[in-house]
Structure 1
Amino acid sequence: MNKYVVLHGIGDLRIEKEPIPDVGPHEVLLKMSTVGLCGSDLSNVYKGYAGDHKASFPLSIGHEASGVVTKCGSAVEHLKPGDRVAVEPGGPCRICDLCTSGKYNVCKAACFHGKPSRGPACLARYFKHQADLCFKLPDDVSQEEGAIIEPLAVGIHACRRANITLGSSVLICGAGPIGLVNLLSAKAMGATNILVTDIRESRLEMAKSMGATHTMLVMEDDPQALAHNVEDIMGCMPESTLECTGVESSISTAIYATRSGGVIVLVGIGGSKLTLPIVNAAVREVDIRGVYRYTNCYPTAIDMIAKGIIDVKPLITHRFRFDEFKNAFEIFRAGTDGAIKCMISCE
């Protein structure tokens, strides 16, 4: 029998069982290895929503994942049993205009596994998935690193949307897991002047150790004053800002801080309705762009780790067994003991 974690209501996580699924011609069956917890998981579990997506219970949990192929469908040619893979979650329709133009991440049909009709999500013993959304891991990339490919892909996509390139000046709001993978991605793409902000000194210390040029502890709620501080610390107004908190005041700071003609990318998921100084951005031609997951980023993310250009291992602070999933969520929620990335072993 397959075991997997299901959310039945706010804070109500349970293990359920069902027969191990068979695979279709273009699918593979994975024995799951490692699953990382994400901020959107926390929001669903403890609030019942993530951004403007309301959770529909029961909801299967887990999308940052790696596994080992145990069975291949008849039409699968690029994978074989025993291959270790990173899982790109979701399932676009593949035939709409968005999918065929390369923007499959915003296809109306695309969503993380979690709906009952789609079966278990990744926090499971076994998981069935489309083979072309499973990416083989090189020998020198671990299963834990394979699970972090998913959030790293978010960072790569965000940095691409922000036009970050050699010599860019970048403001990153938030030093949580997503802020830190954006930091790693921005550095890998050539940014040379990077300021990371956060409300926790411990996370800023982590950002500094991972290559941030500057850090700034946020101790007030005045976006314009904070924007002036950003300019003073960086010596300029940043060309690109990656807003990774979703907090209204932080997004306002991002608008005031970004130089005229620059770009702000909204990476963090906040409330569905916000009050922001949009006119300030408009009259200075500051572009505000959204990010929803990633598109065609997994090969790049895997290659960056395999070649040592990006090191995600420092992000992993806590490890748990499969049957300790409730404790993992509580520690990740509280942020105790410096928790940044909590990994659950499904072995």
Structure 2
Amino acid sequence: MTVTKAAKTVNQAFVLHPGGKFAFEERHKPTLQSDRDVIVRVIATGLCGSDVHYWQHGRIGPYVVEAPITLGHESTGVVVESGSDVQGLAVGDRVALEPGIACNSCNHCRGGRYNLCQTMRFAATPPYDGTLATYYRVPAECCFKLPSHISLRDGTLIEPLSVAVHSCRLAGDMQEKSVVIFGAGPVGLLCCAVARAFGASTVVVVDVVPARLASALKYGATNTYQMSAEGADRNAADLLATASLDSGAHIALDATGAEPCLNCGIAALAKGGTFVQVGLGKPNLSLPVSQICDKELVFKGSFRYGPGDFKLAVGLLDSRRIRLDDLVTHEFPFSQAERAFENVAGRGGIKSVIYGPDVNEEEAKASLV
């Protein structure tokens, strides 16, 4: 990986200020805080809908942009410093970053649900800075070596792939089951790929954009359905007919957060089915509670990822049971980071990636094999 002299000493960051203004700033280069820490030079960062939401709205629920903050949390990079107690990682290793640091001592952490840790320090969630900078510090356990055939660019998708892994694991056994997935954006498409990798026999992907539905067929969808302006019951009946699911679907995952999708998914589920909410929309939605009760459905919320999810995501890629081809559709140098935000806000393509300062883009797009 090519590193300029300036990049070795300067920590350049792309910073969001309250009110929605961006600025490039020089920040202090992070230092090792424990013998288990590593410093990673950030090579590529995928943009998430939450990054754009903080830019456009200044908050997500209780998390408010009250001070300047560096965004970004879907990153890969190269280890440039390592603590004395770090094992299994070496300077020069290519890694994907799990961007949340839990306390490891609370009841949730010790109970195997560290994603619910109340003192979680999650990148780009106020007040904690994210990864759109030259360097980022994490504990070694938050670094996952990239498979040799995965580029640093495509490795940025391991974070949203871990979201998909977590939500599909919450849905339970998928072997020979029918699954309906709402939303053909990055997370929805990755949920589709994971569901097929987990053995689902039928995967119906639902969206309103025909081009995105066409993409879903590349990632394991057996059927697609374009939502209409008709009501939830009509759409549910039509999508079930499309896939010949006369008795309803076993599982539904919603990666949109849109009320019509939730209502359609609940209507499309068979009795005893499972609904997993993956994406976030408006904080308060109207749901058909009577249907949830009449069908005795299981309704679950899904929050980020937990123990084993990143490791399983990397394993699925390493075994080539999941492929990331063509998911990254737009790439931007660090100097054009704001353009990347505008592109995502305008729903351009599927996934946008920002390269770190002074990165050789061709090397970032290359695998080791």
> Normalised by the size of structure 2, how large is the TM-score?
0.90
Q: Counterpart in 2 of 1:289?
A: 300
Structure 1 residues 316 and 252: alpha-carbon distance in aligned structure 2, compared to 1, 3 A threshold: same
Which of 335, 338, 343 is 1:323 aligned to? Answer: 335
Which residue of structure 2 aligns with residue 306 of structure 1?
A: 318
Q: CA deviation at 1:29?
A: 0.5
- Secondary structure at the counterpart of residue 326 of structure 2: helix
Query: Structure 1 residue 257: deviation in Å?
Result: 1.0
Count of matched residue positions in the alignment of Structure 1 and Structure 2: 344
Question: Shift of residue 224 of structure 1?
Answer: 1.4
Amino acid in the other structure paired with 1:333: A
CA gap 1:52/1:20 in 2 versus in 1, 3 angstroms? closer
Partner of 2:137: 128
The answer to whether the 8 A contact 1:196-1:207 is kept is yes
SS of residue in 2 equivalent to 1:314: coil
Deviations, residues 140-190 of structure 1 (Å, cap 9, x unaligned):
221122211100001111111111422110000111111101011101101
Q: Is the contact made by 2:249 and 2:268 (CA closer than 8 Å) also made in structure 1?
A: yes
Partner of residue 193, structure 2: 184
Distance 1:181 1:51 in 2: 25
Query: Are 2:151 and 1:139 aligned?
Result: no
Give, as a single letter, the amino acid of the residue that structure 2 aligns with 1:316: V
Contact 2:64 2:126 in 1 (8 A): no
Candidates 25, 50, 55, aligned match of 1:40: 50
Whether the aligned pair in 1 keeps the contact of 2:45 and 2:75 (CA below 8 Å) is yes
SS of equivalent residue, structure 1 residue 167: coil
Residue 333 of structure 1 pairs with residue 342 of structure 2: no
Measured in 2, the distance between the counterparts of 1:162 and 1:149 equals 20
Indicate how the Cα distance of structure 1 residues 57 and 228 shifts in structure 2: closer, same or farther if over 3 A, else same. farther
1:238 aligned partner: 249
Question: Residue 342 of structure 1: CA displacement?
Answer: 0.4
Q: 1:297/1:341 Cα in 2 relative to 1: closer, same or farther (>3 Å)? A: same
The code of the aligned residue for 1:222 comes to: G
Aligned residue number for residue 31 of structure 2: 22
Matched residue SS, 1:260: strand
Q: Cα RMSD over matched residues? A: 1.5
How far apart are residue 85 of structure 1 and its match? 0.7
Cα shift at 1:212? 1.0
Letter in 2 for 1:83: D
Deviations 1:203-231 (A, max 9, x none): 01111232211111112151111111122
Q: Write out aligned runs for 1:1-347 (5 A).
A: 1-24=10-33, 25-50=35-60, 53-114=63-124, 118=128, 120-236=129-245, 237-295=248-306, 296-336=308-348, 339-346=349-356, 347=359
Q: Counterparts of 1:267 and 1:75 in 2: how far apart (Å)?
A: 36
CA contact (8 A) 2:67 2:127 kept: no
Quote the offset at 1:10 in angstroms: 4.2
Within 1, Cα distance between the matches of 2:52 and 2:161? 18
SS at match of 1:203: helix
C-alpha displacement of 1:232: 1.2
**Aligned-partner SS, 2:43:** strand
Hey, what's the Cα distance between the residues in 2 that align with 1:320 and 1:140?
A: 22
2:190–2:219: 8 Å Cα contact kept in structure 1? no
1:312–1:82 CA distance, 2 compared to 1 (3 A)? same
What SS class does the counterpart of residue 216 from structure 1 fall into? Answer: strand
> CA separation in 1, counterparts of 2:200 and 2:41?
38
1:32 Cα deviation (Å)?
0.5
CA distance in 2, matches of 1:224, 1:54: 37
Identify the residue that residue 362 of structure 2 maps to in structure 1: none
In structure 1, the residue matched to 2:364 is none
- Deviation string 1:300-324 (CA, Å, 9 cap, x unpaired) is 1111112211001221101111111
Cα pair distance change 1:189/1:29, threshold 3 Å? same
Give the secondary-structure state (helix, strand or coil) at the position aligned to 1:102. Answer: coil
- Report if the CA contact (8 A) 1:26-1:75 is conserved: yes
Gapped regions of structure 2 (runs ≥ 5)? 1-9, 360-369
